Amino acid sequence: MLNLLPRDTVFYDLFEGLAAHAVSTAQHLRRMAQEFPQVSGVIDLIRKEEHDADDLAHRALERLDQTFITPFDREDIHALIGQLDTIVDYIDALAKRVALYHVRAIEPAFLKLSEVLVEATVALSRAVKHLRKTRKLSELQAELIEVHRLENLGDDIHHAAISKLFEGASDALEVLKWKELLDYIENAIDGCEDVTNTLERIVLKNG
């Protein structure tokens, strides 16, 4: 089979760099949940990751604007950059709110969701790395299925946690705080599935 993949690897370096930031921020968030209430140093690390990811996303978009021949469709490259950066943005926004909202203790469901998020970002990072060398859906399938499984698991944990919040045992302010925090981490997990859906579309269009 002829190798029709472009020799220019810069886009792949940028994609993999953004995926690595998603993994790192997710790991920092899990550490924050595990080590709570010692969170200030971890929040600073997450903020730095977010700034670095933003810089990388801007570089990727600038390259997209300047490159005549791209590895695959421009709209798919744009979507992939944005979705990877969005995962990091959700985690950063969430970490900031933990401090702003004066959270007193970490809900067990939040810790579980942080673990699911780490697993999901690791799986999507592996899938992104496959994109450099293959256009065979079968070679990404294991990672795509794993992210989908983790997204479903995250939904289940999130729904159970929200249901518990609204049982009436917590005061209204705590309910509002934790609903937003749980929604943010679920959005980050959903973002992982958005990335894998885009990867699947890229592979199917260019296989």
pLDDT value, residue 188: 98
Residue 1 is assigned to a structural domain of this protein: no
Query: Cα 6 vs. chain centroid, distance in angstroms?
Result: 27
Mean pLDDT, the chain, whole residue set: 90
Selected residue with higher pLDDT from 20 and 72 = 20
Cβ–Cβ under 8 Å, residues 120 and 189: yes
- Cβ partners under 8 Å of residue 158, min gap 6: 109, 113, 182, 183, 185, 186
pLDDT value, residue 170: 66
Angle at 205 between CA 203 and CA 207, to 5 degrees: 55
CA-to-CA dists, residue 93 to 18, 29, 135, 155, 187, angstroms:
17, 11, 34, 20, 11
Residue 5 is assigned to a structural domain of this protein: no
**Which residue carries 């309910």 as its tokens?**
175
Residue 152 is assigned to a structural domain of this protein: yes
CA-to-CA dists, residue 20 to 54, 153, 164, 185, angstroms:
13, 22, 34, 18
Residue 4 is assigned to a structural domain of this protein: no
Q: CB 18: neighbour CB atoms within 10 A?
A: 26
Question: Which residue range(s) make up the domain with 64?
Answer: 10-206
Residue 116 is assigned to a structural domain of this protein: yes
Identify the weakest region by mean pLDDT among 2-11, 13-22, 23-32, 129-138. 2-11
Average pLDDT over residues 156-175: 88
pLDDT value, residue 5: 46
Residue 155 belongs to domain with CATH number: 1.20.58.220
Residue 3 is assigned to a structural domain of this protein: no
Cβ–Cβ under 8 Å, residues 117 and 204: no
Domain count, the chain: 1
Q: pLDDT band at 169, cuts 50/70/90?
A: low
pTM, to two decimals: 0.92
**Which residue carries 């260019």 as its tokens?**
206
